[in-house]
Amino acid sequence: MKSQYNPLDRKKLKLKMASAFGENIQTLPMDMQKILLDDLVTAFENRLKVLNRIQSDFEIKIMDCADYETVKA
C-alpha cells in the first residue's frame, strides 16, 4: 500500500474534483477554492488508505451509475 501519492496523480484528482464541484465552489475566492480542493483530495486519499487496510474484512461494491439530487441551502 502506498503511503504517499504521486504529485501528478494528486494534481489529476484535484482537476477532476474542480470539474465536479466547479459550480458549487465558484462563489469562493480562488485561494479558498484551492484550499478546499486540496483538503478534498487529502480526505479522499486518506479514506482510500483506510478502506485498503480493511478491504480483507468485507467487500465493497460500487455501482456503475447512481441517481442523486442536488440540495440547495
Identity of the amino acid at 23: E
Q: What is the pLDDT along the chain (73 residues), one digit of tens a residue?
A: 455 678 888 999 999 999 999 899 999 999 999 999 999 999 999 998 888 888 766 665 666 665 655 555 4
Using an 8 Å Cβ cutoff, are 13 and 41 in contact?
Answer: yes
pLDDT at 43: 95
CA-to-CA separations, 32 to 11, 26, 53, 71, in angstroms, rounded: 17, 10, 32, 22
Q: What is the pLDDT of residue 1?
A: 45
